[in-house]
Chain A
Amino acid sequence: MQGTMEKIDDDTYELFFGPAHPGSGNFSVKLKVDGERIVSARADPGYLHRGFEKLMEYRLPLQNAVLSDRICVLESLAWNLVHAEAVDELMGVEVPERAKYIRVIMAELSRIQSHLIWYGIISIGTGFDTGFKLAFGYRDFILDLFELITGGRVYPAGYICPGGVRRDLPESAEEKILNVLDKIGKMIDFERAENPANLARLKDVGILNLKDAIRLGATGPVLRASGLKTDVRKEEPYEVYDRFDFEIPVRKEGDAYARFQIGLEEMEQSVGIIKQALKDLPDGDFIAKEFSKPKLNMKIPEGEAYIRNEIGRGEAGVYMVSDGGIKPYRVKIRGPSFLHIIPVLEFLLRDAQIADVPAIYWSLNGCPADIDR
């Protein structure tokens, strides 16, 4: 925990967590502390603000697909998908079956690698260095897959684009994905082993009950760890999620350990979804005709669409309005971390101990980039 310390009065101090902290991301929290106890916390985003919503008004949908990678660095393919779906709905594009399956496979691979980062960062934050190294090592296998399929390891450069996906899966992809999934299975077994370090640091820390969770706008794993069984993939099936058999992990405790466990169980479910999708993967086109050779002056019909997706961190949304021009008129991006690491974090840090800050912060799996999009 680094930063500047400023003495306010005899009893309380102000302490910065971030923005140059190796784990906090480009984001800081100002803590007012009394001894070891935190009196109040105030999130301070803006370190990474790029104004994507405004930038998208000046660009064509295919350019925006590339821009959408950068909304959240750690989950670029998932954000690609939300953006592409919004354009698809506005333009009334019929996405080919094969593309839908490839989209699901990529989104789930992206969820697994994002949860591996989550596991790694929560491990190093709570003093379990081995977990961090293992998780990032295993994540690399998935990045190799991304490189093979999309051409980019972290940024796929708009691989999931309006109309489908930019390239078909290479011939060797199926076998390689299955290979990597086996390896990920080993990592999940490792994570499953009860670890005294995680138990001691995470159990009964940062408890969020269901009523507060809904009021504070929590979604995804954070909300499920507080006891509400909800998942956009089940409630509002997009792409072909309604054809797959998977469970929604739920816990009642609402503490950091429960959130951590949810992440683990979700990885297992994602592995199952990918295996089912690979088995049923149909032949055919991978991109709709309008977009296989896109014209520069393609008009987006007048209208609006609000798309919700379940990404690794929670509910992602894109609200797109078109006035009939070739560029979107207004794009609103709703990131899950906007609520998780501003209101939820401020709420959970109140009256917590300084030593618990990393455990609470990383159990929420925030991504500062999607607040500061």
Chain B
Amino acid sequence: MVESVREKEIIENITKNFKVDVGIQRERRIWVKSPSEDLIDLCMFVKNKLGFKHLSALSVTDWPKKGEYELTYHIWSYDDKILITIKTMVDRENPEIETVSKIWGESSQIHEREMHELFGVKFKGNPDLSPLFLEDWDGPAPFRKDFDWREYVRNEYYSKDNDRESAYFGRD
């Protein structure tokens, strides 16, 4: 197949320049695992040299057992019709990473703003990380695995003394 040839080319190109783990997940899906220090160089390379111009999504996965956040950047190439997923780990307690908003512009800026609000990841150099959805929220980052929203709602909005509402306590 023509496509898988191009996918191999891209992978060779990346491993020639960076010391990273790479792999083909399936047709049109490549993943790259990069240390967080190399992220900006890798992203620059992927966008400018390999033509991945569309940052489709930015996601964070919380792994409390490892004590890490996994950041995944999903980038689509309009020329090659391939999606590359760049993964990098950051410390969960003090999540900080360099912004990619200088590379992909406003589209990445807004994705980072969302992830900052939901997971508390600080993107250094991002011009605007103000809250997007949650008004007047000063609790922990709500999408962390150890934030139990059921517990939170019970404690904040239900009363044990109330006959009907006490039924919610001690239930999962």
Chain A contact residues, CB within 8 Å of chain B: 45-46, 49, 51, 53-54, 214-217, 219, 228, 230, 235-236, 306, 308, 315, 317, 319, 321, 329-330, 332, 334, 338-339, 342-343, 347, 372
Contacts and interface: CB of A to CB of B under 8 A. Distances in A.
Interface in B122-142: 131-135, 142
B133 A315 contact: no
A51 B142 contact: yes
Contacts of B78: 214, 228, 230
Contacts of B76: 308
Interface in B41-88: 53-57, 59, 61-62, 72, 74, 76, 78, 81, 83, 85
Contacts of B85: 306
Interface residues of B, number: 34
Given A228-B78, A230-B78, A317-B56, A306 B133 contact: no
A235 B108 CA distance: 23
Contacts of A321: 61
Nearest to B74: A306
Nearest to A228: B78
Contact of A54 (B72, B106, B110, B143): B143
B158 interface: no
Given A46-B134, A308-B56, A343-B110, 5 more contacts: A215-B106, A217-B110, A319-B74, A330-B62, A343-B109
A51 B114 CA distance: 12
Contact of A45 (B59, B133, B143): B133
A216 B83 contact: no
Contact of A215 (B104, B118, B142): B104
A265 B74 CA distance: 30
B158 to A, nearest CB: 18
A315 B56 contact: yes
A339 B110 contact: yes
B29 interface: yes
Given A46-B133, A217-B54, A315-B56, A347 B106 contact: yes
B81 A235 contact: yes
B107 interface: yes
Contacts of A219: 54
Nearest to B131: A46
A136 B53 CA distance: 37
B154 interface: no
Nearest to A342: B110
A319 B55 CA distance: 14
Contacts of B55: 217
Given A306-B57, A308-B56, A217 B133 contact: no
B101 to A, nearest CB: 11
Contacts of A215: 104-107
B61 A217 contact: no
Given A54-B142, A214-B53, A317-B56, A49 B134 contact: yes
B33 interface: no
In the complex, the 9 A-B pairs of residues with the closest C-beta atoms, listed nearest first: A217-B107, A332-B59, A46-B133, A215-B105, A334-B57, A343-B106, A49-B133, A235-B81, A330-B61
B57 A317 contact: yes
A315 B105 CA distance: 18
B62 A217 contact: no
Nearest to A48: B133
